[in-house]
Amino acid sequence: MAESGTPEDDLSVPRAALNKMIKELLPSVRVSNDSRELINNCCTEFIHLISSEANDMCNKSLKKTISPEHVLAALDSLGFGAYLEDCRSVLEECKTVAAKKRRASNRLENLGIPVEELLRQQEELFARAREEQAVIEQEEWSQLQAAQAAQQQQLLQQQQQQQGNGHVQPPAPANHAQDSAT
């Protein structure tokens, strides 16, 4: 056993997690400290063993990433075929959890509506808003025109009234120059 800590020694399964596992697997069994330490070392060796074998299988398959299939094949070829069944069910759980997370994150952000639908709705709202704005502007313009027309009408009537009452004298030839100012 190494006395001084080399960097490799720090790379092991956390002792607390391991102790907890051992405690629950073998309740009321006194497990000596050096046994625990050894189980820890065995874990590290196991991890290296499986990763190395899985890596070899990955290289042979000309793929870049170590896939679950590589790991399962490695376990089988190294004599740990008995682990396969339980490993496969964890794999299924993994996939289910990952799929749930993707669906959940979509829903939470968008109140249960998928992104494509939201974009479509947004576009509809924009189009409708543009239409309504155009109608409003048209109405305002019509109103403005109507108001102007009414004003002109009023002025015209006033003028006709004043002429009828005789308040405004038809311009005399002599005063022609003055009246032309109105």
Which residues contribute to the site for another protein (CB under 8 A)?
A: 8, 11-14, 17-18, 20-22, 24-26, 28-32, 34-35, 38-39, 41-52, 54-55, 58-59, 64-68, 70-72, 75, 78-83, 85-87, 90-91, 93-95, 97
Minimum separation from the CB atom of position 124 to another protein (A):
39
Minimum separation from the CB atom of position 52 to another protein (A):
7
Q: Which is nearer to another protein, 87 or 127 (CB)?
A: 87
Q: Which is nearer to another protein, 2 or 111 (CB)?
A: 2
Minimum separation from the CB atom of position 104 to another protein (A):
13
Minimum separation from the CB atom of position 114 to another protein (A):
25
CA distances from 115 to 63, 107, 120, 121, 123 (A): 33, 9, 9, 10, 13
Burial 27-43 (b: 16+ CB within 10 A, else e): eeeeeeeeeeeeebeee
> Alpha carbon 154 to chain centroid distance?
62
How far apart CA 155 and CA 161 sit, in angstroms, is 10
How far apart CA 53 and CA 77 sit, in angstroms, is 9
Q: Which is nearer to another protein, 7 or 164 (CB)?
A: 7
CB neighbours (10 Å) of residue 75? 19
Minimum separation from the CB atom of position 55 to another protein (A):
5
Query: Residue 24: which residues within 8 A CB-CB, separation 6 or more?
Result: none
Q: Which is nearer to another protein, 94 or 168 (CB)?
A: 94
Q: Which is nearer to another protein, 48 or 128 (CB)?
A: 48
How far apart CA 6 and CA 31 sit, in angstroms, is 26
